[in-house]
Amino acid sequence: MRVAVLDDGLDQLTLIHQTMVALGHECHLYKLGRTLLHALRRQTFDFLILGWRLPDMRGPDVVRTIRGDLKSRLPILLVTRDCGEGDLVEGLDSGADDFMAKPLRTVELEARVKALLRRSYPAREEAELVFGSYHFFPPSRVLKVRGMPVDLKNREYELALFLFQNLGRLLSREHLHEAVWGLGIQALSRSLDTHISRLRTKLDLRPANGFLLLAIYGLGYRLEAVDQDALRNSGKR
């Protein structure tokens, strides 16, 4: 998954980065609240770890902006050197999902991140994922549509699964690149577009089949579920 970490301490950033990479996540580091908020308007992430005391903002204020102005429900772990009841209440009231005191301990950080991700993305733990007539079987990397297997190459399957797992969510091009090609692999922009085009055709992603894959200019892509009842009613007019 794609994780963004906000903290002004180099030691903390290094520890969190090493822990997230060891867990298999892509990790992006920020030192200023405004820098992260700017990135969130152009990028997409799966999980946020935010420090409390920053050079330009307070952690709870960053959370409030994310929840209020950006309308984001991303899971957020707030970390602070203070762990008094007042800080705990303010942190959770601001919209954070969990709270952890510094100095961070690697084992506890791993456990809290894993638990929060399980709560936030429960479908990713299942052996079979069903989206209408689209059935994914992650252990065998098989996708069936209306009971028939679809011939997909490895990256086509990974991209399809990632899009359905994030149904209704705008995913930046960078996020999709990292999820499918990995960090450090410079996939050509046209490669992503080509894979998207193939998926539209192979999976027949159109309103009549319940899903529509949209290109959001300058940002990325979003797979949306289509209300079949509304579609049928509109066709009767």
Percent of the chain's residues with pLDDT above 90: 63
Interstrand relation of 134-137 and 142-145 (parallel, antiparallel or unpaired): antiparallel
**Total Cβ atoms within 10 A of residue 215:** 12
* Mean of pLDDT values over 158-181: 91
pLDDT tens figures, 111-149: 999 999 888 887 666 778 899 999 999 888 899 999 999
pLDDT above 60 (res 5): yes
Q: Is the pTM of this model over 0.85?
A: no
- Asked if omega into 75 is within 30° of 0 (cis), the reply is no
What's the half-sphere exposure (Cβ side, CA atoms, 13 Å) at 72? 24
**pLDDT confidence bin for 103, thresholds 50/70/90:** confident
Q: State the pLDDT at residue 101.
A: 87
CA atoms within 13 A on the CB side of 187: 19
The candidate with the shortest Cα–Cα distance to 198, out of 146, 164, 150, 149, is: 150
Give the pLDDT confidence score for residue 47 in this predicted structure. Answer: 95
How confident is the model over 29-68, as pLDDT tens digits? 999 999 999 999 999 999 999 999 899 999 999 999 999 9
Could you identify the residue written with the tokens 């935010």? 50
Alpha-carbon distance 173 to 14, whole Å?
Answer: 26
Q: Is the pLDDT of residue 187 over 60?
A: no
224 DSSP 8-state letter: E
Token pair 């980065």: residue:
17
Which domains occur in the chain, in start order?
Answer: 2-120 (3.40.50.2300), 142-235 (1.10.10.10)
